[in-house]
Structure 1
Amino acid sequence: MKYHVFVHTGGTVDIAVQETTSASEIKTIYKVCGGNLGGTKVDERFMKFLNELIGSENMKHIKNEDRSEYLEFLRGFELKKRTFNIDSKNRVAMKIPPAFVEIFSEKSGENFENAIKTSKHMTALSFSGDKVSIDQSLFTSFFESSVNDIISHIKDIFDADICRDLGGIVMVGGFAESMIVNSAVKKAFPDKKFIIPLEAGLAVAKGAVLYGHDPDIICSRICRYTYGKGICEPFDKDLHDEFRQTTIEGELFCSGCFLKIFTIGQKVLVGESVEMRSIFSFVDEDTQMMRNFPIDIPVYISKKESPMYVDEEGCVLLGNLKIKCKNGQWPEKVHVTVKMEITGTELKVTPRMHFGEQVTATFDFL
């Protein structure tokens, strides 16, 4: 039995903790975390630097008026991100497209070389011919925020009780090929074993292909969020907010309550399902016209363990479960039982009416 932290570093970063129980079975033992921590964040820092150096309006003109050279320049930066050697004392040389210099001079009325010499980064930059040279410390600073966030997330994982005995860290994705990233992470966790496969950028694609051939290899997952739906509960003045009070068929209810389906951090086996029941009434005159339309059941996610309301801070609408009526019009009262099942990477949804009929449903993700 082996435990590893798997760090997928690309444009964004996803960090998972998995247990390998055999050659054909993997379990996720900790909720997946991460976000906009990868190469995209480095690109944002680099673009901020360019906007300060050249001017945001000038960068917009360059992007709009000579897009091909603009994209070629960014591809050059992407290559430098992966190949930059932190042990080298040489500056990072990047070719500046002629259009950059021409458009900058035209729009600003200033010489490009002089602009570099008078910028706040003048000691870290130099311009010669068609290349700008960037000092090692300045180039490394583009990665600083991203690397710190990745290390912080991994530290949080190692601090969790279930993760204290992890065997090592596996880094995959294009960003893992960066010496700045893998060197910083190794330095932060010197007592951990590191695995960075050859062609780390292709490892994710290869894993997706293998998973497609054998999806049963992932036998359990840990919920990244709390999942739930919005319901109306009988109104309790000691529990519910007064402004949420509503009247349905003469009775007082509280609208917008959060009913949990799966809880954040919950271990869910592939194939495990949960049933939720809903009652829809079309008796009132105001709701009669809705009998001709699909029923919508909104599904929400939250990072809180037990949200009370669907509109409180941190709750996000994931999507709507749309249930279509086979006969064209719903009866005045409809009882629907929806079975939600974890099937690999998807949620399988099966609605059933109170009279036993199984109806068609789609999940409309926003």
Structure 2
Amino acid sequence: MLDLVIRNARLPDATDRLVDIGIEDGRIAAIEPSIAADAPSHDAEGCLCCGGFIETHIHLDKSRIIDRCAPETERQAMAVKRVSDVKPTFTVEDVYTRAKATLEEAIKNGTTRMRTHVEVDPRVGIRGFEGVQALVDEYAWAIDLELCVFPQEGLTNNPGTDELMVEGLDRGAKVVGAAPGYDTDHPGQIRRVFELAREYDVDVDMHLDFGNSPDDLDTNLVCDLTEEYGYGGRVALGHATKLSTLPPEDQIRIAKRLADSGVAVTILPATDLFLMGRDQHHNVRRGLVDANLFVEHGCNCSISSNNILNPFTPFGDCSLLRMANLHANVLQISHADRLAACFDMLTTRSAALMNLRDYGIAVGNPADIVVIDAETTARAVQVIAQPLAVFKAGRRTVTRTRPELHRP
């Protein structure tokens, strides 16, 4: 007996026909035209229906603090320091409240799975982790939330941080992260993170090669260690803006190396555009890796939000479609198939990065579905189409009505 039928759904891989999606006990039980069932229904009216969006890289713990941080001085963003200066004021309750507001915005924009990076170090202790972890069970009705514990301000050069990383993993973090650019010993931090990953059998997700030039790349070491540890498919890099400064032939070479090693890349358009090129005063470089180019040469990529309303990114509404549109706009992507590839970087490619084996519109999978006000994935990216309805495990979690004109 079906619990719900989503009727007249247009699937991403079959936009020339409409189907019904039957849901039972929180899972997809049938996908076929005109399901005959005496069950409640939702009419998708020919709109695009896909698995819920996946946020692979965001920082809930330090979102919504822009108003309490010192302003920029000239062209120096100094984002790490400006956040660090206020981290001692973070309480568990403060983190929880801010993270909750950001999480709810993501849910409203169609996100049903998320990996959030959480900082631990002596300045904030484990408070940020505790504040975010409290949301995992509370919001399980709408989103699957996965925590990645990482050392934003250094590991080998920041006494006490290693112990906090271990504590976060002991408390249930499913991913271990890194930010070697803020460590005096880049290889030392990277190697330690791989050791922790193997010890706790968790995935690796690093902030890597963030900078304005291709000097001192850490990507090659990460590929080497991924192969040494047999961790292909369990490692991701975020940012990698240094790679965007290389000639195209070198970018292709690295994309193939990443693909061969099983290392994925998350592109973070809002933050990378805001922070890169601060050493220039005109003809400023974009600093944004061409995810389409990397995908076309075998490297899996996702597109994500990173920061919301803080010194790293003083903007944000948690719309992943807006991030895909921004990426496509800046990288001058116009062909429908390449725009569709950007959509995949919010959905199927993000699922592959996070090793989600039960994602998408398929019989037996959880009924995590977003109904989008568009007919194709390319058009959804082009117009930043709005989600009209979101379902988590077959239960409706979000409703958004189309705006109406009131003509005279």
Same fold (TM over 0.5): no
TM-score range, shorter chain: under 0.3
TM-score, reference length from structure 1: 0.22
TM-score, reference length from structure 2: 0.21
Bigger relative contact order, structure 1 or 2 (CA pairs below 8 A, ≥6 apart): 2
